[in-house]
Chain A
Amino acid sequence: MVQTSSIDTPRRPTPAPGQHDDDVVTVIGPDGQANPATDPRLGVEMERRLYTAMVRTRIVDQQLERLQRQGRIGFHIGSLGEEACILGSVAAFREQDWIFPCYREFGALLWRGMPLQRYVDNMYGNANDPVKGRQMPDHYTGRPYRFGSVSSPIGTQITQAVGFGWAARLRRDPIAVGVYFGDGATSSNDFHTGMNFAGVFRAPVVFLLRNNRWAISVPVERQSASRTLADKGIAYGVRAVRCDGNDALATYAVVREAVERAARGEGPTLVEMLTYRLGGHSTSDDPRAYRAQDEVEAWRRTDPLVRMRRRLEALGAWSEADEQRWRAEVEAELRACIETAERTPPPALSSMFDDVYAQRPWHLREQAESCERGPRARAHGHGGGH
């Protein structure tokens, strides 16, 4: 028989959207001015690059969501509201560094140099998809851009990134490895093991924790009773910092410092980026079933794009005309990519049997032959996962 009892756990008070404790690094103030104490001083060009990449990410996200609703792609998992933490963090890595993604960071992949066309091909799972149509949309790979391969199981990339960075350290290569994951993933085995190993072996890893406050329908308060997620660094002897994840410059500043420390052999850092998932978990999810609309609206008012734009406008480095021009450019580029992707055929049947091993063993040769000789299935449907 289950007894009713009250469970008393020390919780941190839920902050109002955009309000942060003193230890949370912020740069851009409400008036668009940078805090001189924390400003990474990127220069106007770099700040414009960051902003335009964030806008591009947003436009691509919104268009992909539309394509999914129209049944033209099977699935999309977007980054609406998380653009600053994704772009601000990836921008802080150097070319020689490596990124291990979660599944919500196509903006980081594009920043690292993946052509938009290849990403759109991945959304269609066509013959030009880098993963050869074998994985769901948004499960991309980008080795030429020093960018890892996306997997669905939560947290698995965390220990792998630690091993990757550790290997670089063993070879005396002064690089850093960034690994993305969500607040939900801090409950996974791999998070704890990864942090522990990174602490013990001083792996040059930057743990990029996107705390967007939700893991599908489960709020962050249900993931952990600790005061902050960054607090978990203390237990593992891993330096931990928090930043306003809706502030691209703050995110850049803290991640850049972590990257430099890691590359110098000064060990790992856990960066808790405080942000909010404005959209559904994915196109399979309707968040109205589990969270209040006013919470979403309050966070919408902290939109990272608006914040960054205000900053550029305060510098006199961006205008409404610039905005229109840039949006039109991205939309045209995206339209062309979609047209090309839709004209591209599915992967060849026999490609299904490639890459299981370096060479096809006898049984796969036999099966591929029997598949190719056999009758064809009816057309392919659409669906999706989580």
Chain B
Amino acid sequence: MSEMNLVQAINAALRQEMRRNPDVVVLGEDVGKVGGVFRVTQGLWEEFGDERVIDTPLAEGGIIGTAIGMALYGLRPVPEIQFADFIYPAFDQIVSEAAKYRYRSGGEYPCPITIRTPVGGGIRGGHYHSQSPEALFIHTPGLKVVCPSNPYDAKGLLVSSIRDDDPVLFFEPKRVYRAVKMEVPDEEYTIPLGVAKIVRPGDHVTVIAWGAMLYEALASADEVAAEGISCEVIDLRTLWPVDIDTLVQSVQKTGRFVVVHEAPKSCGYGAELVSLLTEKCFLRLEAPPVRVTGWDTPFPYTLENEYLPLQHRIVPALRETARY
């Protein structure tokens, strides 16, 4: 066991998988000598050298396109996109290519790449260093989407993602990169993709969150607990394919639920979760489902805390849902 933050846990997972499997390579902008702008790949270049920890030219389409080619050859590339906001030059390669390779080749060509990228606000990065684009990728059949909230999960989920035979988008909540520390086993372990975690059991309202917003959801659950509202807080961990059983069970118990995410509301992932749970738990619902999300504007700079769905906006939503 070692105490680690999210950055260190992800680094440990990469190091472990690179030691274990010589086919694992890391490529991206600034991932080499400097170890990434958030230092997530620090020390890997020194240990594994320039051919496995690769600083690329500045072209995201090139990074993902070549990672796909490497995967087709048999490697296990783990490309990094420096900020999720800069993933769009690679969108074509991810959406048209990686996501469809297995299907379009009749199963002949799997495409096992794991695209790591930091997401979310809270670092005063304005719209180009703060966005949460998960819904775009969840909407694309063929991609798996993961977003850990803590170091233990991050290590276990990244290992599973790298070993998974399908393309995975691995979103890292940069707001809590260094804020959350916990004991993480030094030895190998995996956390299966597609399994959510009930982080706080409760009876009255189900709260669904992931990544950095999980902590806002938990703080909000604490705040309303004093008023006698008992929340069941679920950390999705894998956004897609989602752990529908855990969600349905919880909503069958509580009859009420709130989804929290940073991305804009309209067509955000919350919309899909509300639809799914309405379809599956319609007769059990006792209150309209509520989404606490970013507003439908680009992510602002100065007013970012007014934009984010933080505790001050979650708490009233919990109260209203509980008392509906």
Contact = CB atoms under 8 A, between A and B. Distances in A.
Interface of A: 1-2, 4, 74-75, 125-126, 129, 133-136, 139, 151-154, 184-185, 187-189, 215-218, 222-224, 284-285, 289-290, 346-347, 349, 352-353, 356, 363-364, 367, 371, 374-386
Nearest to A282: B37
Among B55, B61, B265, which residue has the most Cβ atoms of chain A within 10 A? B55
Contacts of A187: 57-59, 62
Contacts of B310: 377
A152 to B, nearest CB: 3
Interface stretch (B126-134, B201-209, B242-250, B272-280): B126-134
Contacts, number: 164
Contacts of B105: none
Interface string B36-73: 01000000000000011001111101100000000000
Contacts of B58: 154, 184-185, 187-188, 215, 218, 223
A383 B123 CA distance: 5
What's the dominant secondary structure at chain A's contact region?
loop
Contact of A289 (B25, B34, B55, B82): B34
B129 A385 contact: yes
B305 A381 contact: yes
A376 B83 CA distance: 28
Q: Is chain B's interface secondary structure helix, strand, loop, or mixed overall?
A: loop
A152 B128 contact: yes
B141 interface: no
Chain A to chain B: the 5 pairs with minimum beta-carbon distance, closest first: A385-B129, A152-B128, A133-B302, A383-B124, A377-B305
Contacts of B127: 134-135
A216 B29 contact: yes
Contact of A377 (B29, B89, B312): B312
B34 A352 contact: no
Interface of B: 22-23, 25, 29-30, 32-35, 37, 51-52, 55-59, 61-62, 75, 82-83, 85-86, 88-89, 122-129, 265-266, 295-298, 300-308, 310, 312-313, 315-316
15 contacts: A2-B22, A75-B124, A133-B302, A135-B128, A136-B125, A136-B301, A188-B89, A215-B58, A222-B57, A289-B34, A290-B34, A367-B296, A371-B306, A374-B313, A377-B306
Contacts of A376: 306, 312
Nearest to A366: B296
B301 A135 contact: yes
A368 to B, nearest CB: 8
Contacts of A349: 303, 306
A75 B125 CA distance: 9
Contact of A290 (B33, B83, B313): B33
B57 A133 contact: no
Given A216-B29, A223-B57, A375-B316, A383 B300 contact: no
Given A353-B297, A375-B312, A383 B89 contact: no
B61 A189 contact: yes
